């Protein structure tokens, strides 16, 4: 299968834009099959000091520094890494040149691809669906934004392989081919720092189904107003999912219904707690129905499935206080969902990078909640805590500078047999590289504190 991609690349003047995980994957893929092909790598940062193999590659041209995006028009193909933002670049003349690992695999194999996107829940839903299919069909791969570059696994695919691909808005931004099955789990405010506007962010997400035809399938949140208003001209088979309202598949009284028959009891023991995770389960079951999988086996897979790291992850119980890590919750809606799922949260540690998201609904939720202690981290945690102070609240409000300070307060103030939850409701880039680094720091700090 990869031979078709090599054929497309071999005679083109190619640049690799961005040399992070996916950029390196693209480089090694091309070099394996086109050993002497001239390549240009574009990156803002110094990529030579940590990648010695580039120093001995006589057929690679390296462009780094603040002007790395100059002269993009000179290339036939620009294989873009998702994280590179082109906010200040006129991309109108580049649209036919910009491509990616995702675009290249979609062009040759869209019929076997299930693409899953959404502001939140895409990693859990993708992993859950992959697990279900894997236990009924060995020939399936989990790829994409979950941290598995497509080209790292492409040699293992064949024409019958199912590819479950988590697709971020960054990956979808410039694609011109949609997968056979495209899923939009939800749409909230996020990544405006990358797209420039919320409308552009939503538009990019819609690319997962925008280029489908009448033989393709689009699965979407039927209670999202933006999606409902913008799907009327789409050609694919549309399947909606809903909560407390009848849809193609829906949740009513904690039961999942498909064609008005209960196919999953949400009250049974499961590791994926909360209504948000029940929605993820619902989407996975709908795809199982579409793929004609064994639903009883699927339910067994669902109930055994454990939450992914940094997603309502139980860190441990110390001095009768249970600590949870939900550092993936980088928007207020995700934090609200986590609090509702756990139900017994007495202390919330939150805050991170200020991306000008509207926090009014989150503030109102915190004021009405049963949480006793609100510990705000820079920057948004401080902003929200100060607003709550000004409006008046019965909560204990603490402004801290570090996670260590937050844990120290939480250990003293959290009620016994209750929960202390880290759920930032903001991105982590102001203090950490990403949400994983923040979550790992939190977990290690808790364990180190109670070793003393």
Q: What is the 3-state secondary structure (H, E, C) of 186-255?
A: CCCCCCHHHHCCHHHHHHHHHHHHHCCCCCCEEEEECCCHHHHHHCCCCCCEEEEEEECCCCCEEEECCE
- Among 269, 287, 304, give the residue marking a domain's end: 304
CATH number of 428's domain: 3.90.190.20
3 lies in some domain: no
CATH number of 188's domain: 3.40.1190.10
Pair of tokens at residue 15: 């640049």
CATH number of 95's domain: 3.40.50.720
Question: Residue 148's beta-bridge partner residues?
Answer: 144
* pLDDT the model gives residue 342: 97
How far apart CA 183 and CA 125 sit, in angstroms, is: 10
End-to-end CA distance of the chain: 56
Residue 397 dihedral angles phi and psi, to the nearest 5°: -110, 130
* pLDDT the model gives residue 315: 97
131 with 264, same domain? Answer: yes
Question: Residue 249's beta-bridge partner residues?
Answer: 241, 258
Beta-carbon count within 10 A of 89 CB? 13
Query: Which of 381, 345, 378 is CA-nearest to residue 363?
Result: 381
108 with 94, same domain? Answer: no
* pLDDT the model gives residue 194: 61
For the chain, residues with pLDDT lower than 50 are none
- Among 304, 327, 346, give the residue marking a domain's end: 304
- Among 253, 287, 304, give the residue marking a domain's end: 304
1 lies in some domain: no
Note down the domain range covering 383: 313-449
326 with 246, same domain? Answer: no
277 with 379, same domain? Answer: no
CB 349 within 8 A of CB 413: no
CB 163 within 8 A of CB 109: yes
Buried b (16+ CB within 10 A) or exposed e, 38-56: ebbbbbeeebeeeeeebee
317 with 374, same domain? Answer: yes
5 lies in some domain: no
CB 23 within 8 A of CB 16: yes
363 with 290, same domain? Answer: no
β-strands 255-258, 249-252 pairing: antiparallel
Question: Residue 258's beta-bridge partner residues?
Answer: 249, 261
Residue with the two structure tokens 């389960």: 281
Ranges of H-type helices in 306-352:
332-342
229 lies in some domain: yes
372 lies in some domain: yes
* The total number of structural domains that make up the chain: 3
* pLDDT the model gives residue 190: 76
* pLDDT the model gives residue 328: 96
317 with 336, same domain? Answer: yes
Containing H/E element for 180? none
145 lies in some domain: yes
200 with 213, same domain? Answer: yes
350 with 429, same domain? Answer: yes
* pLDDT the model gives residue 191: 64
CB 41 within 8 A of CB 62: yes
* pLDDT the model gives residue 193: 67
377 with 415, same domain? Answer: yes
6 lies in some domain: no
287 lies in some domain: yes
55 with 121, same domain? Answer: no
What string of DSSP letters covers 352-398? -B------HHHHHHHHHSS--EEEEPTTHHHHHHHHHHHH--SSEEE
385 with 333, same domain? Answer: yes
């Amino acid at each position: 299968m990869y031979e078709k991609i090599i054929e497309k690349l071999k005679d083109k003047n190619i640049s690799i834009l961005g040399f992070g995980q996916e950029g390196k994957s693209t480089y090694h893929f091309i070099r394996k099959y086109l050993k002497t092909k001239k390549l240009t790598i574009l990156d803002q940062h110094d990529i030579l000091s940590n990648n010695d193999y580039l120093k001995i590659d006589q057929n690679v041209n390296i462009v780094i520094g603040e002007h790395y995006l100059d002269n993009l028009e000179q290339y036939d193909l620009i294989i873009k890494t998702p994280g590179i933002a082109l906010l200040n670049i006129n991309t109108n003349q580049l649209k036919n040149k910009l491509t990616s690992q995702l675009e290249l695999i979609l062009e040759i194999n869209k019929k076997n691809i299930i693409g899953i996107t959404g502001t939140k829940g895409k990693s859990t839903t993708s992993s859950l669906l992959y697990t279900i299919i894997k236990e009924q069909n060995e020939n399936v791969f989990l790829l994409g934004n979950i941290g598995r570059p497509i080209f790292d696994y492409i040699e293992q695919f064949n024409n019958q392989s199912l590819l479950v691909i988590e697709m971020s808005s960054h990956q979808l931004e410039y694609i011109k081919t949609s997968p056979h099955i495209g899923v939009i789990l939800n749409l909230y405010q996020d990544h405006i720092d990358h797209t420039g506007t919320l409308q552009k962010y939503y538009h990019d997400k819609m690319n997962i189904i925008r280029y489908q035809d009448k033989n393709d399938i689009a699965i979407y949140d039927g209670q999202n107003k933006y999606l409902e208003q913008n799907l009327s001209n789409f050609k694919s088979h549309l399947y909606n999912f809903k909560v407390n309202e009848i849809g193609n598949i829906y949740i009513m009284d904690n039961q999942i219904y498909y064609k008005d028959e209960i196919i999953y009891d949400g009250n049974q023991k499961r590791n994926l707690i909360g209504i948000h995770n029940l929605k993820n389960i619902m989407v996975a079951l709908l795809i199982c129905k579409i793929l004609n999988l064994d639903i009883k086996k699927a339910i067994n897979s669902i109930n055994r499935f454990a939450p992914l790291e940094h997603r309502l992850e139980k860190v441990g119980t110390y001095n009768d206080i249970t600590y949870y890590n939900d550092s993936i919750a980088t928007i207020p809606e995700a934090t609200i969902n986590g609090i509702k799922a756990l139900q017994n949260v007495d202390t919330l540690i939150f805050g991170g990078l200020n991306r000008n998201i509207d926090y009014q609904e989150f503030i109102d939720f915190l004021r009405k909640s049963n949480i006793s202690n609100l510990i705000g981290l820079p920057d948004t945690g401080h902003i929200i805590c100060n607003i709550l102070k000004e409006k008046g609240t019965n909560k204990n409000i603490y402004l801290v500078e570090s996670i260590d300070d937050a844990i120290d307060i939480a250990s003293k103030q959290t009620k016994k047999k209750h929960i202390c939850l880290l759920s930032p409701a903001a991105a982590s880039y102001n203090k950490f590289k990403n949400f994983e680094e923040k979550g790992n720091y939190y977990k290690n700090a808790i364990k180190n504190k109670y070793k003393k």
